[in-house]
Structure formats: structure tokens, C-alpha cells
Amino acid sequence: MSGTSEKNTQKAINRIDALKSHLTDVSPPRGRLTKLSRSLHSKKAIVTGAASGMGKETAKLLADEGVQVAVLDLGWDAVQNVVHEINAVHGGRAKGWVCDVANRSRIKQVCKRVIEEFGGLDILINNAGVSLGGGAFDADESFEDRWDKTIDINISAHVIFIRACIPALLKSEAARIVNIASTEHFVTGPANVAYSASKSAVTGMTRSFAVELGKYSNITVNTICPGPIITGMTAGITPELKDLYARRRVPLRRYADPEEVAQMTVNVCLPASSYLHGTTIPVDGGMTIRHT
């Protein structure tokens, strides 16, 4: 056997343990047949843009599942309304912070406070986002202002949050980062270029962090791409146009309720979702497939 063959053989032997399932030597808990937990009880989470829409429903669902939730958004009253709604059912399970996600120093301050007060962190949901419009024919000043704000909120803030939270997430047994993008990553329309570009950037950013953090085994990073949802962002669309759009583009022929997206987001956060990593998941009623 040549020296090269011997080296390759030895490398393969050395890889045997790594190539075994990481569950090989794990036994199911007493009374269960399967090994991976679907419980989020006692986990700690940050949800951005949590005062309304999908963020609010995600925070509420996490609280229902036993998670201690940091509710982050712009307005104190709106944040406290969600905190009170959660704590009325699950006493003490939610706490609120005002956080302008376009303010990088504020992001770092809030993450530090949450981690200190919660005693750690297991889940980060980057949900905050804006859609401000803007295309080829807008005046420069108007377009550039909207472009900068959209990029700051929809992509840069995600990165700042992740970087600020990674030290704490590395200490978690099953850390989860979920970035909310949009089906605008797959299909798009005119005169909303900053939104479309930023949501596509989220998926690329997710894959990059997934590659970088995968070696630590305990952190997964994924993207959820909602389709047409009944939220404040779509409130200005008339019912007639919503119905027309849904019938033409969505096999389920309707817009989603925010909770339907939140359910998928929380599924991705389960400890059992341990091999879902770097993925882009449409939650769109089939919007990205053709239908007749």
C-alpha cells in the first residue's frame, strides 16, 4: 500500500466517530421512544418588531410554549401592550424593551440588558422590517433616504443582533437564530427595490452565518420567507386587490394570518430541529409554485 493510500485510510478511520450520528449513544428520555426534544420550556428569546403582526404572534406563541420572551419594538406603549397581554396569561414570562433597530448602539445595549436580566439566551428572532417603496423614477433624495433606512432595518440590524447575541447563544444547548425575509426573495414587483434587495440579502446573510457557525454544533441559522400576510404592512391594500392577488398567485387562494407564519418560525426553534440549518423556507400558501 502506498504512503498516500495509508494516509487516506487513516484519515477515514479517524473520521468514523464524526460520521456516526450524534444521537448514536443517546437514549430516549424515560417514557419516550424518540430522542430529540420538542419542548421549549425555560428557553429565553429575543423577538424584534414584536409589538404587532408576525412578531407579536411569534412572541405570544413562544410564551405559550414556556419561553421567557424579550419583546422589542419602537414604541413603549405598544411594547407594553404585548407584554401585558402575555403576562396576563403567563405571569412574568415577557419583558419589553424599546429598541430602534436602525440604531446600532441601541441594539448592542438592549441585547446586553436582555442577556443579563434573563441569565442567557437561546433564541433570536430577527423579525423587524419595513417596506417603504422606491424605484427607478423617484427623486434622488427621496429614494436614497428610503433605501438607506430599509437597508439599515431589514439587513444591517439582523447582522448587528446576531453578532451581539452570539457569545450568549454559544452557551445554549440548542441555540436558534431565525431571520424573517419574504417571498420577495423569489418573486417581486416594481418600485420596491430596497425591500426586494434587502430580503434577498437576508437569505445570503443567513447562509454565510450558517457556514461560519455550523462547526459549533449547537447553533442553527435559518430564514423564514412569508408570502402575503394580513399585517400592518399590507393594511393599505384594498380587500378587492388582496382577493385578486391571492386568487392569481397563491394556491390556497388567501392571505395568511400572522399566527400561521409564527407557527412555522417556532417550529424551526425547537431543539428537535437540530439538522435544519442554512435553509430558506417559504411560508406562502404555495405562492412560489404555479397553479391554475
DSSP string, 35-98: -S----TT-EEEESSTTSHHHHHHHHHHHHTT-EEEEEES-HHHHHHHHHHHHHHSTT-EEEEE
| CA–CA gap between residue 133 and residue 202 (Å, rounded) | 18
Give catalytic status of residue 195 as yes or no.
yes
CB 255 within 8 A of CB 183: no
CB 69 within 8 A of CB 48: no
CB 60 within 8 A of CB 125: no
State the burial class of residue 120 (Cβ atoms within 10 Å of its Cβ: 0-12, 13-18, 19+). middle
User: What cell does 75 get?
Assistant: 414604541
| CA–CA gap between residue 186 and residue 162 (Å, rounded) | 24
- Options 195, 216, 245, 255, the catalytic residue: 195
Catalytic residues: 195
